[in-house]
Amino acid sequence: MQLQHLRSLTIVQHHSCFPLVLLQKPTDKVLAYSSVPSSSSCEAAHVNPLAHVAPTLTSLKLHRVHLNGFPGGWQCLGALTGLQQLDLQQAPHIPPVYYSYSMGQHILTTRHRDFAGPGELGGVLLQLECLTQLRLAWQMDITVRAAFGLMTQLRELKLQRRPPGEAASADAVTSAISLPPNLTRLEIDLWQALDRNHAPDLAALTALQHLQLVNIKTLDPGLLSSLQQLTHLHVAMRRKQLRKAGMTALLDVLPCLQKLQHLDLLQDHGYDEEDDDDDDDDQEEDGDDEGHGSALAMPLQQCTALLSSSRLTSLQLQGVQLPAACGVRMFGTRLLPQLTAVKINFLQPYHNRSSVVAAPALANADLASLVDCCPCLAELDLAGAVMAGADVSVLKHLASLTALVVGGACTDDRCAEGLAQLAGLKRLSFTGLPASSGGWDDNDSDVDDGAGTPQLTLHGLQQLMHLTQLTCLTVGVGCCWLEKTYGHRELQEFRAPAPSSSAWDDPKLQVMLQRNRRWLALLLQQRDHELAALKASAASMRHELAAAHERIAALQQQQQQQEAQS
């Protein structure tokens, strides 16, 4: 059977640990089996899905697939001359196993694999002359890296790191990589050096519009200065690698990118096994660092470079230490009405908890400058960036603001009072910090005793309930009423159960509050205050009514006297 009209083919094993194995039968038919012994077999195709597919195929996606028994190896792929989109993700290596067919279970033989080598892949890629989009999460040797530069028709290239547990060869890690000259989109999540020795073609990608660099080994920021067409720039690197690249050099490049619309600069604090390769070389350099969790500082005089592009619509800073008064410096002299999303986040999530990676940098003057500079902000994330005691109520002047994230030192009842004035909010994330090592306060007091960080208590929650337009409310550690009710420190998300309702109607939230005796006591106290206010209002009305009767009586008496005189 020929798949004569097939245009798109996808073969994916969703299980992250077990690959999909394509086995060739003596009848030249291929069956697709999962290598999970407990799963049932699934006949994916009665013919070789690559060798016999029609040349009309334009899109092919193979994820976690072993190419066993394919005639000619990768040459089957090279026959797809009309292919425009190719997505290859390498299967993780597993030891050879053998199962026999018995007891109705699916059994599989995976011995003596004829694995198609990466060297064959490099030659086949050059045969795909119509290919414009390529995503490759595969072992790449020198031939594959060199082949990229000859694929002049390629417009989008996404390179991702090898599967977990697969060791890359030493020559592949240290070798140079060629890049197609006509790329408009480039994404690299690869332990690769990007400098003039290892990636000289990067500076020549003058048509590039989207550049995403994640956890690369090194970066020479000077290569980016010639990318005048860039609209999206995303750089996420380890602290050590970001320091090597030079924060100052990276900021110096930004004024050259005047078409930039989205800028993401992230310091990743996670651990990567490749970091071990350079540990010995960098021990002396790291001696001056404050620690693994410390953030890389940004010079105050260069903060304005972040907003150099007048077309910027989105700015994201994650885990980068901003100096004090940076907000006034960045936003004080600019008006950017097109900037609708800003994220300045200093909290690093870790196992449902958050740790501080930088000291809060935004005070009252910084928040005021932010509001004046970006009047059309719709999404704002300031987790960990706002100083304790800062007045967040100034954000009420952002009329378009619908999504807000706050957290860290400022997350207390006073902050909640300020946020209660932001009547247009639809989504609010209110997260705190883990308490001190002494643990949580187990008594009935809802006030911070100084042992830990400021906390959002039931009184603060009551203030937030003025936000009746909320459709999603997220609260986390640092909230006494959450800890005392459920006894765990996780983010809790409450959503509106119906389009016409609000997040406060979430049944889970209502049950949580009803089980908290302090919340019930607070409601009772609120009812007492309301009753007292009603009584006071009634007394005032009675007083006003009595005064009105007295005035009426006086007017009547005056009228009678006038009539008597006349």
Q: Exposure pattern of 13-46 as b/e (b: 16+ CB <10 Å)?
A: beeeebbbbbbbeeeeebebbbbeeeeeeeeebe
Question: What per-residue confidence (pLDDT) applies to 274?
Answer: 52
Domain boundary among 116, 148, 175: 116
39-45, long-range: CB < 8 A, 24+ apart: 39/106, 40/106, 41/106, 44/11, 45/3
The reply to whether 176 falls in a domain is no
The reply to whether 528 falls in a domain is yes
The reply to whether 364 falls in a domain is no
Return d(Cα 34, Cα 328) in angstroms, integer.
Answer: 58
The reply to whether 25 falls in a domain is yes
Q: Strand 30-34 vs strand 20-24: parallel, antiparallel, or unpaired?
A: antiparallel
Return d(Cα 538, Cα 474) in angstroms, integer.
Answer: 40
Question: What per-residue confidence (pLDDT) applies to 141?
Answer: 82
Whole-prediction pTM value? 0.79
Q: What is the distance between the terminal CA atoms of the chain, rounded to a whole angstrom?
A: 120
pLDDT in tens, 215-266: 888 899 999 999 999 999 999 988 777 765 677 888 999 999 999 999 999 9
Most confident of 24-28, 35-39, 504-508: 504-508
The reply to whether 1 falls in a domain is yes
Return d(Cα 92, Cα 77) in angstroms, integer.
Answer: 21
DSSP state of 83: -
Most confident of 5-14, 46-55, 119-128, 328-337: 328-337
pLDDT in tens, 68-106: 545 455 667 777 888 999 998 876 655 544 444 433 343
**pLDDT band, very low/low/confident/very high, at 448 (cuts 50, 70, 90):** very low
Return d(Cα 21, Cα 158) in angstroms, integer.
Answer: 24
| Percent of the chain whose predicted confidence (pLDDT) is above 70 | 69
Return d(Cα 519, Cα 442) in angstroms, integer.
Answer: 16
Entry field: residues in the chain? 566
Query: Mean pLDDT, to the nearest integer, of 29-38?
Result: 36
- Domain containing 532 equals 522-566
Q: Strand 210-214 vs strand 232-238: parallel, antiparallel, or unpaired?
A: parallel
The reply to whether 334 falls in a domain is no
Query: Mean pLDDT, to the nearest integer, of 150-165?
Result: 85
Identify the weakest region by mean pLDDT among 171-175, 191-195, 471-475, 538-542: 171-175
Return d(Cα 503, Cα 506) in angstroms, integer.
Answer: 5
The reply to whether 546 falls in a domain is yes
pLDDT in tens, 179-202: 999 999 999 998 888 999 999 999
Domain boundary among 116, 142, 168: 116
The reply to whether 423 falls in a domain is no
How far is CA 465 from each of CA 148, 403, 422, 461, rounded to the nearest angstrom? 56, 16, 11, 6
Identify the weakest region by mean pLDDT among 31-45, 199-213, 543-557: 31-45
| Burial class of residue 432, CB neighbours in 10 A (0-12, 13-18, 19+) | buried
| Model confidence at 468: pLDDT above 90 | yes
pLDDT in tens, 363-413: 999 999 999 999 999 999 999 899 999 999 999 999 999 999 998 888 889
Which of 113, 183, 172 has its CA nearest to residue 148?
183
Domain boundary among 70, 100, 116: 116
Which of 173, 169, 116, 127 has its CA nearest to residue 151?
127
Which of 418, 516, 391, 383 has its CA nearest to residue 458?
516
Number of domains in the chain: 2
| Model confidence at 555: pLDDT above 50 | yes
Question: What per-residue confidence (pLDDT) applies to 43?
Answer: 35
| Model confidence at 309: pLDDT above 80 | yes
